[in-house]
Amino acid sequence: MKSILKIMTLLFSASVLLSSCGNNGKSSGNNSALNSSNAEKVYVAPGEYDEFYAFMSGGYSGNLTVYGLPSGRMFKEIPVFSQFPTTGYGYSEETKPMLNTSFGMVPWDDSHHPDISQTNGVLDGRWVFINGNNTPRIARISLKTFETEEIIEVPNSAGNHSSSFITENTEYVVAGTRFSVPVPQADLPINEYKGKFKGALSFISVDKETGRMGIKFQILMPGFNYDLSHPGRDKSHGWFFFTTYNTEEANSLLEVNASQNDKDFIAAINWKKIEEYVNNGGGTKMPTNYAHNVYDEHTHTATSTMVKEVLTVNPLDIPGAVYFLPTPKSPHGCDVTPSGEYIIGNGKLSADLTVHSFAKMLDAIENKKFDGDAYGIPILKYEDILAGVVKSGGLGPLHTEFDDKGNAYTTFFISSEVVKWKIGTWEVIDRKPTYYSVGHLMIPGGNSRKPFGKYVVAMNKITKDRYLPTGPELEHSAQLYDISGEKMELIYDFPTHGEPHYAAGIPADLIKGNSQKIYRLDENKHPYAITSPDQAKVTRNGKEVHISMAMIRSHFTPDNIEGVKVGDKVYFHITNHEQDFDVPHGFAMIGANNSELLIMPGQTKTLTWEPKQVGVWPFYCTDFCSALHQEMQGYVRVSPANSDIELSWSLDGE
Amino acid sequence: MRKIILSVFVLSLAVLVSCGDKTKKDSTEAPKEEVVKEEVVEVDPMQNKGVGPITSVTLAAEVDQELAKKGAEVYKQMCSACHKAEKKFVGPAPKGILERRTPEWVMNMILNPEVMVKEDPIAKALLAEYLSPMSNQNLTEEQARAVLEYFRTL
């Protein structure tokens, strides 16, 4: 008894000591008991694993970051649409084709909405997809290698924003255009926008086994702005819903001119019907030009293919395939409840949320209760399809996600808050502030039939005073809320990289066991790979010099190379011969005008180098690989262009 | 027979434990006496089987040439970056290894190098001499056995 008391006293004084130490910032220490219980909720002890992965889009970084929840620790930045000198992605000869487009190489993009593959409406953890908004592209990232495996360009699109959302068996990843454009592109006066521009909604099929993407069809819709989208699920599986704004079809000062109509539309697309139509030979093949880039895990090399044709569909040719659901105030987020019954329009200029009923929508269609049409597409009557309105009292609703207990969570940008409300009764249950100006929010699985409603992450646009100041530019803030109880609790706050527009979360158990540890050397099919050091060689083809090199702790084979001349283009093809987990080697060449390489065990990568000066130039390993890492280096002798020194190479004089 | 003699320092854990446990103990308690003991361990390399999954290997009187050929291929891909058959390189030469080591030790060194250089007295002494720790190339037991057979042909 006495000893228990003693321990209690000690623990208490220790916690007082700890919280008083930690609280010398701006917040006061009067709620330390609450803080310490929140601290326990997000504390992942050294060596322990997080419960969830969170894949956060990088926004203007063009990439995808991997975080753990609840700790908020960042594990990796996966290069997707942007060159990444850290690993050589987009710089190495093997990965340059990944960034090829119909505009040539575009070494950057604005990545927005990751979505994880599903089977039967449940996360299956095979791939994560993400859209490039600027030069329209969709990428597929493997959740085995955590590398970008495929990028497909989307023609006839511009501002690829209502993307990349997937249907519940990953039949399609869907990409809609935010900016309508002439289709096909044409030299037109801009003020002839109205009626002449089109909005393309692209349905990109995904191969069940390989994940390989291909554009199945594009629906050419009226020239509105297609802002966000969501698949129907469960009962509404087979439909897809897109919010629109600028149904005014303004082409200038949209800030004012696209906000004139009291209601815009949610476009409801019966994609199963259109799929059937094109499978029966429907649609029009249109000449076009777009890049399809695929990375092969065995050759460690990407190839880019230009595709010259796309199948387009005029919605008027398929009666019953497309309807418009009037939705107030320029709706932004378009979200569907896990049951598939309710479609939520987050009218960003409104205080209220509009909830449409899928059952009522079908009923109105059945009974042909239309309220006119837009460019021939039937408009349903607002009152006929409305399930309810969430009177939140907040301002600027943007996005809604769901838990597994029948609740919805909506972000309000202008009033900086997350509002929890009840599906069906539409009553507000709770509201909590965010810091500040929240955009998207994410609940792991919140985009599927089966959400894991333990945490919600709010991704904010403005950081201001949340962290130590770092000059004018700040990383965006994210807040983590515990949503396991009736009321939400703000339990953690962490910075995120780039601008995460959206994120996709998944229980760690669904993917961590599949994560690849090495690439097998005996499966390496790279044309310049060498699988044993005695294959190391240097060959000349005119002014091109190809060096096939091996690396292992802690030397290069060969590490002395002579016979290279000024004006040559040198290709270092380097194979990492390690076969153990987490032993990458780096490669850096003095004066290289591109990047370094970071080469995983069993992998081959190629860096080019164009020596401009006579001399003996060193290269070295950049990744501290062993106690003898500092010794992992070599030299290339560069002779004058007219030199007759023959190529030679060696390691330790052999 | 050559013996490898090495020194092992045994440090009393009591000292370490008392450091970490201060908050839970009365400060009046006197610290325990620090005990440092030097022990001399002698290892017979022809008896030492090393540390790892391999506890017993039976070598046939005749070399299995087919197996040795497979082993040579594995050795070339996975080992030759650091080992030359007859010459000290990044690591020691395998020629004549079975005159110096048990077959079990050889296979454990291939299959379990991280633990061997920490726990096996001979592997520890080799690391001190060669400095570059042996990489785990993730060979299967069958591959390691084939490499062992190849070593018999050297």
The answer to whether A419 and A431 have CB atoms below 8 angstroms apart is: yes
Mind listing the pLDDT tens digit for each residue in A211-240?
999 999 999 999 999 999 999 999 999 999
Residue A469: predicted pLDDT = 96
- Chain A CB within 8 Å of residue B131 CB: yes
Contact of B28 with chain A, judged by CB distance below 8 Å, is answered with no
Domain containing B17: what range? 4-43
A14–B135 C-beta distance less than 8 A: no
If residue A428 lies in a helix (H) or strand (E), which one and from where to where?
strand A428-433
In chain A, residues with a C-beta closer than 8 Å to the C-beta of B135 are: 552-553, 578-580, 583
Give pLDDT, residue A393. 79
pLDDT score of A27 more than 80: no
Token pair listed for A28: 């006061």
In sequence order, which residues have a C-beta less than 8 Å from that of residue A400 and are 6 or more positions away? A333, A335, A344, A346, A353, A408, A409, A410, A411
- Looking at the fold, whether B71 and B147 belong to one and the same domain comes out as yes
Are the beta carbons of B132 and A628 separated by less than 8 Å? yes
Query: For residue A532, what is the nearest residue in chain B, using CA coordinates?
Result: B77
Considering CB atoms only, which of B78, B90, B138 is closest to A555? B90
Digit-coded pLDDT (tens) for A83-141: 999 999 999 999 999 999 999 999 999 999 999 999 999 999 999 999 999 999 999 99
Per-residue pLDDT averaged across A515-532, rounded?
A: 96
Q: Which residues of A touch B76 (CB under 8 A)?
A: 532, 534
In a domain, B119, yes or no: yes
Residue A15 · residue B24 · CB < 8 Å: no
Kindly report the pTM of this predicted structure.
Answer: 0.89
Average the pLDDT over A36-40 and give the result: 89
CATH number at residue B76: 1.10.760.10
Q: Which CATH number fits domain A522-650: 2.70.98.40, 2.60.40.420, 3.30.70.20, 3.40.50.150?
A: 2.60.40.420
Same domain, B77 and B137: yes
Among the partner-chain residues B76, B132, B138, the one whose CB lies closest to the CB of A554 is B132
Position A202 pLDDT exceeds 70: yes
Specify the long-range contacts of residues A184-190, CB closer than 8 Å, at least 24 apart.
A184/A156, A184/A286, A184/A287, A184/A288, A190/A251, A190/A252
Is B82 within 8 Å of chain A by CB? yes
- Quick: pLDDT tens for A576-594: 999 999 999 999 999 999 9
Res A512 pLDDT > 60: yes
Domain ranges of chain A: 37-78+392-514, 82-332, 522-650
CATH superfamily of A82-332: YVTN repeat-like/Quinoprotein amine dehydrogenase (2.130.10.10)
Å between A628 CA and nearest CA of chain B: 7
Confidence of residue B33 (pLDDT cuts 50, 70, 90): low
Residue-level pLDDT at A205? 98
- A contacts of B24 (beta carbons < 8 Å): 7, 10
Q: Each residue of A277-325: pLDDT tens digit?
A: 999 999 999 999 999 999 999 999 999 999 999 999 999 999 999 999 9
CB-based contact B137 A522, cutoff 8 Å: no
Chain A / chain B CB contacts < 8 angstroms:
51
In this prediction, residue A13 carries a pLDDT of: 43
At A568 the pLDDT is: 98
Would strands A560-565 and A633-639 be described as parallel, antiparallel, or unpaired? parallel
Q: Report yes or no: B41 at the A interface, CB cutoff 8 Å.
A: no
The pLDDT, as a whole number, for residue B16 is 40
* CB < 8 Å to A7, chain B: 24
Buried b vs exposed e over A468-503: b needs ≥16 C-beta within 10 Å? eeeeeebbbbbbbbbbeeeebbbbbbbebbbbbbbb
The number of distinct structural domains making up chain B is: 2
The pLDDT of A607-632, averaged and rounded, is 95
Banded model confidence at residue A31, pLDDT cuts 50, 70, 90:
low
Asked if residue B94 and residue B28 are part of one domain, the reply reads no
Asked if residue B54 belongs to a domain, the reply is no
Tell me the average pLDDT across A355-381.
97
| Residues A125 and A493 sit within 8 Å (Cβ to Cβ) | no
Residue A160 tokens, joined = 């690829």
| Residues whose CB falls within 8 Å of the CB of residue B81, separated by 6 or more in sequence, listed in order | A532, A533, A550, A552, A555, A557, A577, B90
Please, what is the average pLDDT of chain B? 81
Distance between CA A327 and CA A243 in Å, rounded? 8
Q: Which one of B24, B89, B138 has the shortest CB-CB distance to A580?
A: B138
Does B78 lie at the interface with A, CB-CB under 8 angstroms?
Answer: yes
Q: Work out the pLDDT band at A626, boundaries 50, 70, 90.
A: confident
CB–CB contact A557 B23 (8 Å):
no
pLDDT at residue number B34: 53
> What does the pLDDT read at residue A589?
98
Would you place residue A173 in the very low, low, confident or very high pLDDT band (cuts 50, 70, 90)?
A: very high
Residues B16 and B83 reside in one and the same domain: no
Return left, alpha or beta for A255; rule: phi > 0 is left, psi -120 to 50 is alpha, else beta: alpha
Instruction: Work out the pLDDT band at A1, boundaries 50, 70, 90.
Output: very low
ipTM over 0.85: no
Does residue A20 carry a pLDDT above 70?
Answer: no
Centroid of chain to Cα B90: 16
For B42-100, the pLDDT digits (tens) are 788 999 999 999 999 999 999 999 999 999 999 999 999 999 999 999 999 999 999 99
Give me the residue label for tokens 């050297």.
B154
pLDDT at A260: 86
Identify the residue with better confidence: A460 or B42: A460
A34/A40 Cα distance (integer angstroms): 10
pLDDT at A637 over 50: yes
Give percent above pLDDT 90 in chain A: 90
Look at A555 and B24 and tell me if their CB atoms are within 8 Å.
no
Q: pLDDT band for position A36 (50/70/90)?
A: confident
Whether B13 and B80 share a structural domain: no
Query: Is B56 inside any structural domain?
Result: no
Q: Are residues B91 and B128 in the same domain?
A: yes
Q: Output the pLDDT for position A455.
A: 98
Q: A24-33, A166-175, A261-270: lowest mean pLDDT where?
A: A24-33
Neighbouring residues of B113: CB distance < 8 A, sequence distance ≥ 6: B123, B133, B134, B135, B136
Does pLDDT of A34 surpass 90?
no
State the pLDDT at residue B28.
46
pLDDT for residue B35: 52
Q: Among residues A319, A312, A321, which one has the least CA distance to residue A218?
A: A312
Question: Which residues in chain B have Cβ-Cβ distances shorter than 8 Å to A552?
Answer: 81-82, 135
- The percent of residues in chain A predicted with pLDDT above 70, rounded, is 95
Q: Could you write out the DSSP letters of every residue in B63-117?
A: --HHHHHHHHHHHHHHTTTT-BTTB-SSS---TTHHHHS-HHHHHHHHH-HHHHH
Contact B138 A522 (CB under 8 A): no
Cross-chain residue pair A532–B80, CB shorter than 8 Å: yes
